[in-house]
Structure 1
């Protein structure tokens, strides 16, 4: 990495972005922490950035040679804004891009899958991180965290399907390697925790560790879709409910060695996560 250049971390106050920024700073890399409010981050240069305001892009890209990409939240068609930004980034001297995608979305698939497909043609060094569902989905202001607090329940249409839940700490550690290793991975990387769990297992673990009863309520696809559609556009609600249906059909019942291979340490367990961030 050029000692005078910086890494632009988009979404630097978010779940993975703040951890990626902290990891880069800990390794003494220059960081531009980008967000809609230019939130100060210790050790980083805060810069205002909004996917939907192209006028904010040039300043964010100034002096940057690599970028960590978090797609616009809640967009069912992020490529519309991301691809023009990425073309501008390449023209501005960015040569490495690491994209946060999802294990549920392949290259060329819906939403961020279109950006994934375009990335190798835009940059000579790149990586697409495809994490399974975040363990952090059960903390903070997320829908699962709210329903756990308010009703003692997790509501899904995933049936008995299993998921390789992954800790955002591990996602960020992989991202730091992908951004800073001498050679970028130049591939997509599926990231999971060390084991697959059903939502019944998740509820049981949270109950056991916290001492507060939590159950998993099994919804139908239609019930979940209606629940989401009360808060977000129907198209996006249908896509999210469809992801639960895919879990029920076994799409996320897998683990990978990516975290161990790239960071040299095993991924954190769900129990460790609950003890650290939920209890």
Structure 2
């Protein structure tokens, strides 16, 4: 990897951001860990950053020459705040930007697709990470994790469609390379795990690992939208439900070599993830 200056990690306490910070620090890189509460992170400088408060931008950008971008949570139109920030970042000395987007959103598409489209015109070194669905969506307080704990069900509108579920650990490892390798990717990177699995396949693996019955219960688009609505803005719930509907017709039925190509190792399997994360969560 090439020498680096300071990396600003936005969303430093989140699913990928926290993993990225720990990997960068372990690799000897200088890191500014930005979060709404300026949470202390070992080995990194903690700063407050809030997309809704532009007054926090200057302090976060101080000394940074590269940035990892997590868009505002739940925003359908993040360009309104992110593009002015990126122009400010360029003026402040940032020369490389890596955006976390989604495999379901192409350049010029909705939400982060607008940032994706703009990034090459703003920075000479850039990458857009487009991971498939996170394996971590089955842990913590996520809707899937709650329904698995409550009654052993996984509820989606995906039918028999398959997804190349990816471990957030692997996304963070790809992000390290995208931020610090001498040659920037200057492209988008679709990131998947090693297998494309249906939610029925996932339920079978979870049942085997947990030692109890877990099943996939298919929902309609409307049922999925209404199920998600209590957890997020209604428009975002509708977007996610529509992504389920797209999965049902095969849009996410793929795997890529991105993790192997950038990190030199194969991506982790869903079974390995479940054995590591779910059993630990249950104290086993």
Q: TM tier, shorter chain?
A: over 0.9
Aligned pairs for 1:72-87 within 5 A:
72-87=72-87
For residue 121 of structure 1, what is the aligned residue in structure 2? 121
For residue 256 of structure 2, what is the aligned residue in structure 1? 256
State the distance in 2 between where 1:262 and 1:78 align: 28
Over residues 152-200 of structure 1, what are the superposed CA-to-partner deviations in whole Å (9 max), with x where a residue is unaligned? 1111000000000000000000000000000110000000000100000
- How far residue 234 of structure 1 moved from its aligned partner, in angstroms, is 2.5
For residue 16 of structure 1, what is the aligned residue in structure 2? 16
For residue 207 of structure 2, what is the aligned residue in structure 1? 207
For residue 175 of structure 1, what is the aligned residue in structure 2? 175
For residue 108 of structure 1, what is the aligned residue in structure 2? 108
- How far residue 22 of structure 1 moved from its aligned partner, in angstroms, is 0.7
For residue 67 of structure 1, what is the aligned residue in structure 2? 67
Residue ranges of structure 1 left out of the alignment (5+ in a row): none
Structure 1 residues 211 and 234 mapped into 2: Cα distance closer, same or farther (>3 Å)? same
For residue 282 of structure 2, what is the aligned residue in structure 1? none
- How far residue 274 of structure 1 moved from its aligned partner, in angstroms, is 0.3
For residue 149 of structure 1, what is the aligned residue in structure 2? 149
Report the TM-score, using the length of structure 1 for normalisation.
Answer: 0.98
State the distance in 2 between where 1:257 and 1:218 align: 30
Count of aligned residue pairs for this structure pair: 278
Verify the 8 A CA contact 2:74 2:233 in the aligned structure 1.
Answer: no
Report the TM-score, using the length of structure 2 for normalisation.
Answer: 0.96
State the distance in 1 between where 2:270 and 2:231 align: 28
State the distance in 2 between where 1:70 and 1:231 align: 19
For residue 92 of structure 2, what is the aligned residue in structure 1? 92
Residue ranges of structure 2 left out of the alignment (5+ in a row): 280-284
Helix, strand or coil at the partner of 2:217: strand
**How big is the alpha-carbon RMSD for the aligned residues of Structure 1 and Structure 2?**
1.0
